[in-house]
Every structure is written in C-alpha cells, then in structure tokens.
Amino acid sequence: MGMSMWLALVSIAIGTYLIRLLPYIWMKRSLAKRQTEDGIGSMPTWLTILGPTMIAAMFGTSLVPAHPDILAWLATGVGVLVTYGVWTRTHSMGLPILCGVVAFGVMTLVF
C-alpha cells in the first residue's frame, strides 16, 4: 500500500473517532451543567431522534444497489429476506446481519 492509501485510512479513522467522541464530550458537559438537585439531567429531544434517523438513512441507502441490474436487485432482495427471517427466529442483531450479508455475497458470486 502506498503512502497516500495509509494517509487516507488514518484520516478516515480519525474522522470516524471524532464523529463519535465530540458529541459525547459535548453532551457530557451539557448534562453536567443542566443537572437538577436530584441529579437527573435532561437530554435534548433532537439527540434522541438523531441515532434512529441516521440508522434509517443508512438502511435506506443500502437497499438500493450500486449497479441497478436485475441480479443486484435479486441479491439485495434475498439478503433482506434472509436477514428478516433470521431476525424473526433469533431476535438478535449480529447473526441476522451476518446471514444477510452471506446470502447477498453468495447470490452475487454464484450468479
């Protein structure tokens, strides 16, 4: 790997870390300032909505294939169905995602 690739990877890693760290530090300080007498801080409403909104946005973009041909749509559909099927049986997060990704990969490699 060239130096430019390492530089890109390091900047992505630092950026990803800061995206998570800075809001945490800001909320920690903000909640410490707002604590009431009994020690309960109030969290802003927009912050409770931000996480699910970002997950929904990533989910929505992952449903549309990068190269929209029939095979990509079929592989995406099979991956979604397998993910949902495994989730209905296990009600966990890791195993359904793993199975869905494997099903998607198998569909794209086999066909």
- Of 47, 49, 68, the residue nearest 57 (C-alpha): 49
**Entry pTM:** 0.55
- In angstroms, the CA 34 to CA 66 distance is 45
Residues in CB range of 81: below 8 A, 6 or more apart: none
What does each of the 111 residues of the chain score in pLDDT, given as a tens digit?
788 999 999 999 999 898 888 888 888 887 777 775 555 556 667 777 877 888 888 888 888 888 889 999 999 999 999 999 999 999 998 899 899 999 999 999 998
- In angstroms, the CA 18 to CA 96 distance is 29
pLDDT at 42: 64
Q: Token pair for residue 23?
A: 């809001």
pLDDT at 69: 92
- In angstroms, the CA 92 to CA 97 distance is 9
- Of 76, 14, 26, the residue nearest 50 (C-alpha): 26
Fill in the DSSP letter of residue 18. Answer: H
